[in-house]
Each structure stands twice: as C-alpha cells, then as structure tokens.
Structure 1
Amino acid sequence: MKSDSSTSAAALGGLLGPVRGSESERVSPAPSAAAAVLLEEAADLLVVHLDFGKALQTCELACRNLARDSVSEEPAGTSLEVKCSLCVVGIQALAEMDRWQEVLSWVLQYYQVPEKLPPKVLELCILLYSKMQKPRAMLDVVRGWLQDLDNQRLPEYQALVELYLQQILLPLGCFSEAEELVVGSAVFTEEQQLSALKVISTARQQQTHKRSDSEEVQKLSQEGCSSHKFLSLLILLRRLRDFAVNHFFSLPFKKSLLAALILCFLVLRFDRASPFSLPFLYKLAQIFHRLREAVFSHLYQFL
C-alpha cells in the first residue's frame, strides 16, 4: 500500500506530536531517552527519506531496548508513550511496504496480549484492516480489549466502541452483537443509544436487500442457463435435420434412383407387352411421386 510522503507525514503528524514536540523529552533519563532518539530517527526515515525498511528496523531496535531496560526507575508513562509512538511508526512502515498483514502480529510481540494495546495503536490497526477489507482479523482483538475493565475507564473507550461498530461489526453483519454492545454499554447516553440502534437497523435492512438482490440475480442466471440449454437442444435438432436432408440427397441415394430408372427402361425395352411390366411401372411411378411430394413439401417449409 504505497502513498506519497505528504500522506505519511499527515498520518504521523498528530500521532507523534507529543513525543517530538518537547525538547525536555529528548534529554529525559535513560532508557526512554535513547528510545526517543531512535524514534526521531525512525520518523525521519519514514517521512523524509521514505526508507520504510530502515524505519521499521529502527523501531524494532528501540522497542527491544525498552523491553530490556524495563526495570528502570524512570516513570512508566514516559516509556509507554515512546513505545506507543514507535509502534505507530512501525505500523506505517509495514503498510507502506505492503506488509499490512503482519501489523497485528508485529504489534502483539511488544504488548503480548490485546488488552494491553494502547488506544492509539488499536485505532490504527482497526482502520488499517478495515481499509484492506479484512475487519474479521480484528474482531476478537477488539472484543477482548473492550471487555477489559481497565480499558473501560479510559477516555478513548467510547470512540473505540463506535469505531468497532462502524468498521468491524456492521461490515461483518454482526448486528445482534452490535445491539447488545450499544444497549449494555454505559458510555452511551439514551439519545446516543437510539441513534446507534437506528444505524444498526438501517445496516441490517441494507444487507437484507443486498441478499435478496443476490438471490434474484442467481435465479435469473439459472433461468438463463435453462434457456441456453433449450436453445442448444434446438440447434442440435436443426443439425440433425440438416444431416438427414443432406444424407437423403447424398450420392448413394442418387445412385439408387438412377439404378431404378435404368431397370424401368430395361423392362419397357425388352418386354413392353409383359403383363408384369405395367403393374410394376405403375407402382414404381407411385413410389417416385410420393417421394417427390415428401421431399419437396419438407423443403418448402424451410424456404
């Protein structure tokens, strides 16, 4: 999934602001200070130099350093914020290299369980997989994250619930789960619940209409297939008719007709007064007359 540098910069502008905006964070105590320096380097490689592979490697190095030095006495919030920003840059780098399928597993190797994912990282993963039309990959991850009690106290919780509804549940047709989530969640007001339930109902109706249209198209396709088979049968019968007519006028029939005429002439020539010649000739003439009527009346029907 390639994009220009301006798009990458816009995507990272809001996500990396708190980390890159303060000069005091660059001189904060180790190990987050070293990780912050690597974060700056990774962001420059991603946005300025468009070296996505090197940016990803830099993020991985910084995350490993943070994991190794996690026993430091520095405030945990600083380290977690730097780690989150590193993951944001890493996700963007993977997406730019068209390796978006690896994003979820890559992130989870640094957070172990989905419930520990930062809201910003989870939001980016939802949007990415939804854009690539693979929202099912995030279904269990987001479901587990939303059920965690600690996450339910976060200020970003409601926004993620709404994103979960719009980008995952509704596209997948999980309407019952969506309704249960809206009714059972305490983050929505009564008005917001009614609005969300209306959106869910509309999405359900649209899917029902699409399913009906699909069944109708399939039915018409089957009818068209039956018509095609009937047409093929008619063509086959016509070919058989043409073959019969052609065979009727084939060379063996002409030879037989010529032989009969020669035999008739011989009978008339050698024994014109024979009592057997007249009935024989009369019957032969009747046969030729019937053959002529049958053949030519059959041909006139197709002219």
Structure 2
Amino acid sequence: MRSEPLAWPPVSAQAASLLEEAADLLVLHRDFAAAVERCEAGCDSLGTGTGHGPESSAAEVKCSLCVVGIQALAEMNRWREVLSWVLQYYHVPEHLPPKVLELCFLLYSKVGEPQVMLEVGSSWLRDQANRSLPEYGSLLELYLVHVLLPLGRFEGAEELVRGCEVFDSQQQLAFLGTIGESRCQWARQEEMRSAAEEQQDEATESVLGGLSLCCLYSSFIISSALSQKLLTTLTLLRRALRSMSSHFYLLPYKKMLLATFLLYLVVVRLDPASPTSLPFIYKLVQLFRQAWAAVFSPLHRPPIQD
C-alpha cells in the first residue's frame, strides 16, 4: 500500500522541494556548493517568522535544510562558517534545533576547535524552554564530553552536572567520576608537558653553553694566532731596520752628505735647459771646492784635478 504524500503548506512545499534537491546534490552528485545554495534558498523561502518548536512542520524542513547545509560546508572544508551560517537563520543560540546543535558540537570537536561552541552550548543549556526537550540530556552529555572536558573546564562541568534535573543520582555520580578521571589525566598531561619543556630548556642551555665555550676557545685561538703573527711581523721588521742601519753605518758619512748636497744643487738650483746654467756651473765648481775643503781635513784631503 502506497502512503499518501504529506500535505505541505505552499511555502513549506517550496522549501521541501529545495531540500530534496539539496540532498540529491549532496549525496548523489557531490556538488556541495550547489547544495548549500539550495539550502539557503529554502531557508530564505521560509522567512524569519517560522516557529522553532518541534511541532512545526516548517521548523522541521528548516532544520533539515540546515543539517544538509552543514554537511555540505564541512565537505568543502568551510567548517569555520558553519556556526555563523546557521545563526543567520536562527538568530540566537537558544533557538537552535537539537539536531543542528549536535552536529555543531561534533564538528567543532572533530576539527579541534571546541571553544567555538563554549558560549553557544552554555546559552542553549541554560534556556528553560530547552530543558523540557527530550534531547536535553544527550546534548548536555555531548557538551560535557566534547566541549568542557577538552578545554579543562572541570569546575563548570561539575556545577552543570550537579544542577541538572534530568540526571538521576546514579547518572550524576557516573558523570562526576568521568570528570574526575579527565581531571587526573589532564594533570598528568600537564606534568609531562612541563617536564618535556624543562628537558628542552636544559638541552638548549647545554647547547648554548657548549657554543659559548667553543666561541671562547675559537676567540682564544684566533687571538693567539694574531698575536703570534704580529710578533713575527715585528721581529722581521726589527731585523730589517737593524740591517738597514748597519748598512748605513758602513757608508762614509761625509761622502754621503756631500753627494746629497750636490744632488740638491743640480736638481733644485740648476736647470740644464736654462741659458744661464753654463755660468752657474763655474760657480758650482768653486762652491764644490769650498765644500770639499770644509768637509775633508788637510791630512786626508785627496788631490783635486781640474
């Protein structure tokens, strides 16, 4: 026997048709961008005045459209847009359907960003209207396991469990035991992390100390090499000066002085290209005789030939 199709209102029928297209694009054709477009068009066709209670057929269609849209955005690795994309149709976290909130908890926990759902989940769980929903207990458990405990919010988790009227005493004890185990595991991980950081710091200090010693040793070697090289250079320079001085001492002092004086007269005072240089040569000879007589003593005066 074939079941009769559901009689949707005109607006809901249009949204339901878009929902069917979006589901086909998501599952069969794997066209995620087109699926998101169909979901957005379906949510826009329902308008902002649609109720969010579970008794509303329009609310069910809207929730299904958001579920398909979340899956399509996640497939395109656009998970960062999921929460803002959903809230543009529900406006406040308290109005999110349980199925949509559940998907958001699981999605942001899977990608390692549970802090995104911290305030959203707290607002939804504090709402009095949501406390009467049958999914409240399961969503509270998801919030504890996938949001509060991974973030180390153990005190807030204990307060939430003790103040929850949905859980009986056994369930509360079970959840408090889970919170205690998570607290101990968190403390062990913190100790291991701090120990690893201390070991890394010690290794870094030892490496830096070794590098400092190497640098000091290298500086000492370089300075020693420079000092040895400088000492060798000074020794050679001293030997060269000693050799030059001894060579100068071997030269006749008086002859060297006379040669220097004659060179000065020829280079500075006498210009061979000048017409007046010939008369000056005679004067130069007389000056040379006078210098010769003044320099050399009468006992050692050599003969002078004109």
The question of whether the paired residues in 1 share the 8 Å contact of 2:83 and 2:104 is answered with yes
The 3 A distance-change label for structure 1 pair 126 and 259 is same
1:212 equivalent to 2:202? Answer: no
- 1:66 maps onto 2:76 in alignment: no
What is residue 5 of structure 2 aligned with on the other side?
24
2:259 aligns with none
1:86 aligns with 2:47: no
Other-structure match for 2:139: 160
Name the CA shift for 1:22/1:69 in 2 (closer, same or farther; >3 Å).
farther
Aligned amino acid, residue 53 of structure 1? A
- TM superposition shift of 1:69: 7.9
Say if 2:116 is the partner of 1:116.
no
Aligned CA distance change for structure 1 residues 119 and 28 (closer, same or farther; 3 Å): same
Question: Conserved in 2, the CA contact under 8 Å of 1:170 and 1:200?
Answer: yes
Partner of 1:40: 20
Q: For each residue in 1:84-137, what CA deviation from the matched residue of structure 2 results, as whole angstroms up to 9, or x when unmatched?
A: 101101111111111111111111111111111110011011111111111111
Moved more, 206-215 or 123-132: 206-215
Shift of 1:22: 6.7
Which 10-residue stretch deviates more, 215-224 or 145-154?
A: 215-224
Q: TM-score when scaled to structure 2?
A: 0.72
Which residue, out of 76, 80, 97, partners 1:97?
Answer: 76
Superposed, which structure 2 residues align to 1:212-231 within 5 Å? 212-231=191-210
Q: Which residue of 1 aligns with 2:229?
A: 250
**Pairwise mapping of residues 213-292 of structure 1 onto structure 2 (< 5 A)?**
213-250=192-229, 252-253=231-232, 256=235
Could you report, residue by residue, the CA deviation over 1:217-240 in whole angstroms, capped at 9, with x for unpaired residues? 222222222222321222123213
The 1:69/1:139 distance shift into structure 2, 3 A limit, reads closer
CA distance in 2: counterparts of 1:42 and 1:244, whole angstroms = 78
* Paired letter, 2:24: D
* Residue deviations 1:238-267 (CA, integer Å, cap 9, x gap): 21332244235427427627967x98xxx9
Unmatched runs of 5 consecutive residues or more in structure 2: 247-306
Q: Distance in 2 between matches of 1:70 and 1:196?
A: 37
| Displacement over 3 Å in runs of 4+ | 68-71, 257-260
Percentage identity across paired residues of the two chains: 49
| Inter-CA distance 70–188: structure 2 relative to 1 (3 Å threshold) | closer
Q: How many aligned positions are there?
A: 242
Secondary structure, aligned partner of 2:47: helix
The residue that corresponds to 1:49 in the other structure is 29
Instruction: Give the Cα–Cα distance (whole angstroms) in 1 for the partners of residues 48 and 234 of structure 2.
Output: 103
Aligned-residue CA RMSD in angstroms? 2.8
The question of whether the paired residues in 2 share the 8 Å contact of 1:31 and 1:69 is answered with no
Structure 2 residue matching 1:187: 3-state secondary structure: coil
More displaced stretch, 29-38 vs 196-205 = 29-38
Partner of residue 109, structure 2: 130
Structure 2 partner of 1:7: none
CA contact (8 A) 2:148 2:157 kept: yes
**For residues 256 and 31 of structure 1, what CA distance do their matches in structure 2 show?**
106
Q: Which moved more, 1:159-168 or 1:48-57?
A: 48-57
Match of 1:171 among 146, 150, 154: 150
| Higher RCO structure (Cα 8 Å, ≥6 apart) | 1
Aligned with 1:199 (options 165, 174, 178): 178
How far apart, CA to CA, are the structure 2 residues paired with 1:220 and 1:162?
38
CA contact 2:50–2:59 (8 Å) conserved in 1: no
1:214 and 1:107, CA in 2 relative to 1: closer, same or farther beyond 3 A? Answer: same
Change (3 A) 1:67 1:259: closer
The 3 A distance-change label for structure 1 pair 69 and 41 is farther
TM-score normalised according to structure 1 size: 0.72
SS of 1:229's partner is helix
Distance 1:245 1:162, change over 3 A: same
Equivalent residues of 2:35, 2:69 under 8 A apart: yes
Greater Cα radius of gyration, structure 1 or 2: 2
- Amino acid across the alignment from 1:165: L
